[in-house]
Structure formats: C-alpha cells, structure tokens
Amino acid sequence: MELIHFEKVRDGKYLKNYELTYLNKAGREKKYEIVSHSEIRDVTEVGQRVSGVSIVVTMGEKLLLLKEFRMGVNRTIYNLCAGMIEAGETIEDCVRRELYEETGLELKEIVDVLPPSFAAVGLSDVKNQVVLAKVCEPERETESHTSDNEEIRAAFYTRDEAARLVRSAEFSSRAQIITYFFSRGML
C-alpha cells in the first residue's frame, strides 16, 4: 500500500477531512477518507502529530471516570479525563489543565507516560498519549470548570463498583478497557 496523494475536502474548526489516494497491492487506486486535528501539508505528515492526552487517574484504590454527554454519539457515556494539547504546552501542563477543567482536581504525580498511540485508526490519524497519574485527595467534591458546551460529572470508583459498571454502562473503548483491567486488579 502506498499513499500517493491527499486532498483536504473540509476544513472545520477542530477537525479537517482529507481524502487519501493509495495504490493498493494490486496496483489500483483506492480512495480513503480520514479526519485529523492536524493541518496536513505533505503525505509524510499523516499520523505524525500527537494532539492530545488520555489520563488514567487513580486516588488510592479508586479509579476516576467521567460520565459525560458526547455529541458524536448523542448520549452520556463513561470516559477518561482527556483533552487536546494546546500550543506551547507540555504533556504535564496539559494533564494539570485538563484535570482541573474537567474535575477540579489537582495533579499529585505523573506515574507514567506511554508512547503515542492512535485514537481511532479506522477513521482518523489522531494520535494521543496515555498518561497514568495520581491526584491529591480532594478537599471538596469534584467539579467541572468546562464550557457550556460540555456536560461532565467526575467520580471515583472502587474495583467492585468498576466491575459492575463495566458490564452495565456505555463507555468509550479506551475507558472500558482501563476500567476492566482496573476492576481485575491489573492496574
């Protein structure tokens, strides 16, 4: 498979749509559509830029999950704290900001930062980094400091609560797999 051409077909505020043209293994052209957070100027830039973080947060023996309305699926699902890296931000800066915006919590420690991975390879070149973090004990309940366009409720779950939740609620795939492993004591 060889990417031979690309064309931007829509330039949205947060997402750009591209049509990629490949030579398939039979030597024929194959058109493929993707969305990207990035402005792609050359075929070598497809899938190169890390644009966000997904944050796996624990506090003691509890896992933080967000229950949030997601417009793309028109429903409330369980998800991880996550967000876009702003210009000039380090990963740690982004984690601190997103934690505060989505939960009101303060970062205690970054435990690990995994290498960049693709968020949805079937439709996008979006890359993010999974960050494992611990937060300080909150002095008050979690609270969202996001815009009017986001509806987020954050809460901590024990392993038993997570085990029940992972079998009964709707999740993003990344949050579901993290919750599953947490509930099994593997995180």
Q: What would the pLDDT profile of 17-47 be if each residue is shown by its tens digit?
A: 999 999 999 999 999 999 998 899 988 899 9
Q: Which residues of 43-78 are buried (b: 16+ CB within 10 A; e: fewer)?
A: eeebbebbbbbbbbbbbeebbbbbbbeeeeeeebbb
Task: Note the pLDDT of residue 169.
Answer: 98
Q: Is the pLDDT of residue 144 over 80?
A: no
Q: Do 65 and 146 sit in the same domain of this protein? A: yes
* Same-domain pairing of 6 and 95: no
The token pair that represents 126 in the structure block: 């979006």
Beta strands in 136-171 (DSSP E): 152-157
pLDDT value, residue 141: 74
User: Does the structure show a pLDDT above 80 at 68?
Assistant: yes
Q: How many domains does the chain have?
A: 2
Phi-psi region of 60 (alpha: psi -120 to 50; beta: other; left: phi over 0): left
88 and 169 housed in the same domain? yes
Q: In terms of Cα–Cα distance, which of 62, 71, 82 is closest to 155? A: 62
pLDDT at 17: 96
- Do both 86 and 160 map to the same domain? yes
In this structure, the answer to whether residues 12 and 102 fall within a common structural domain is no
On whether both 29 and 120 belong to a single domain, the answer is no
Residue 151 and residue 101 in one domain: yes
Same domain (yes/no): 27, 59: no
pLDDT at 139: 65
- What is the residue range of 41's domain? 2-45
Q: 29 Cβ partners below 8 Å, 6+ apart?
A: 4, 21, 22, 23
Mean pLDDT of the 73-97 span: 95
Are residues 135 and 58 part of one domain?
A: yes
Residues 86 and 101 in one domain: yes
Do 58 and 108 sit in the same domain of this protein?
Answer: yes
Task: Give pTM, 2 decimals.
Answer: 0.89
Query: For residue 54, what is the domain's CATH number?
Result: 3.90.79.10
